[in-house]
């Protein structure tokens, strides 16, 4: 039960990172937009990969329990 909760929270954080990576620069604060300027694509790929891995782990936990 606790592991499912932890993986669910981690999946939510990954989805938030994807949302930040997809947000247009004009909708962000200038400091955040400058930091993310050259890092959007790698950040998006890393968050999607981590999210898929977490979702797979969560699915396995739910099927086995």
* The two three-digit tokens of residue 48, written as one number: 């999607």
Report phi then psi at 27, rounded to 5: -95, 0
**Arithmetic mean of pLDDT over the chain:** 90
Judged against a pLDDT cut of 90, whether residue 52 lies above it is answered with yes
Give the pLDDT score at 2: 85
- pTM, two decimals, is 0.79
Give the pLDDT score at 13: 92
Query: In this structure, are residues 44 and 22 in contact, taking their beta carbons and an 8 Å threshold?
Result: yes
Judged against a pLDDT cut of 90, whether residue 47 lies above it is answered with yes
């Amino acid at each position: 039960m606790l592991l499912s909760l932890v993986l669910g929270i981690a999946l939510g954080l990954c989805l938030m990172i994807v949302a930040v990576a997809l947000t247009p620069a004009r909708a962000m604060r200038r400091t955040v937009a400058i930091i993310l300027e050259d890092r959007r694509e790698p950040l998006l790929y890393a968050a999607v990969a981590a999210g898929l891995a977490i979702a797979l782990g969560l699915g396995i936990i739910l099927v086995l329990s």
